[in-house]
Structure 1
């Protein structure tokens, strides 16, 4: 089973910290929190996160110094949060090694999308995540590198969108995804179609991977909420 991405959030405004945590956890990330630089660096050394979300305006140690400290030992992605909106501040942030720069106030959904894009870009061809996801003694198997799905060792032909939906769900077993979340993940945040399109794709996927599509064991409907993978 694939390992969850670990994300460290260093932010001294507790309300913002908790909102970021809630949105990240909803997406299935493993979240660690720190309210100052010293605590953040200690957690960073303990857990080796896959990505850091770092506020620049912190008490004690500044975000800039934290970024320098992290960059002295690691090239993991860093997203900077700040109320500074001028071009000079952004250039300084990137010069310190930041991968992205988000100004306050910000949309949590936009931040999550930036996290998703950076993680995909950074760990697509490397990293700790397995290239194979399998269930029930390889009954259902997803080869991420080859973009292939097999059921009982027989190739399952999926459309690109069906494959993306299956991969999202199977990569996060037990996590409930709303139709809106699946639409954003598969079609992008600018998609203006109907979220019920997801239902049609789910139906088609079940026809292809379930022993009995009417009583599925892999893609489960959570009424009033969305779908989850139950393999």
Structure 2
């Protein structure tokens, strides 16, 4: 069984109420929630939230009813891993059956496409890692144009290589952790304490589909891009 999950706290310092705020005609959470319900590989869906409005909304759409998220997992400092572990355990108790794979979509990253979700699941099933994590190619590279100051205040490349790297093309490829799409072996989620304890492999997505809403500017930018996707003729 594959369980789809979305975590959606009530609070947000950057954009108050953002998870249920309307984006191009529907609540932000629904851009991800609807993808889970529409994905043939997903057998059940659960939403972890401390917001009664979001909880009732998700349940009405068919999400498992596991109750509101515990208070200690509803703060802005609560680790995603603990939220996932709680949601998995609560969902399995509700289902009365074990879950083999856990798929998390970040509802603040609504620009992923259905094929991104399908591709991440397919990669997980083909390679059988502990976890598949969405990434995008980093705009800056620690081998080339990310720098740090030493104890004297002088700048140096963050990850120097012998002979130096003098062009971006010659630098080893690095990715940004894109908070969008994750697929985990449930056994790994139960036993590990952090994301990187096991074999975590990348699922690369285009940067424009990995934008994460963390500020009013981000919301406006994502809204503009989503509007162009829905109405391509208006972008001409």
On whether the aligned pair clears a TM of 0.5, the verdict is: no
TM-score with structure 2 length normalisation?
0.25
TM-score with structure 1 length normalisation?
0.26
User: 1 or 2 for the larger relative contact order (CA 8 Å, sep ≥6)?
Assistant: 2
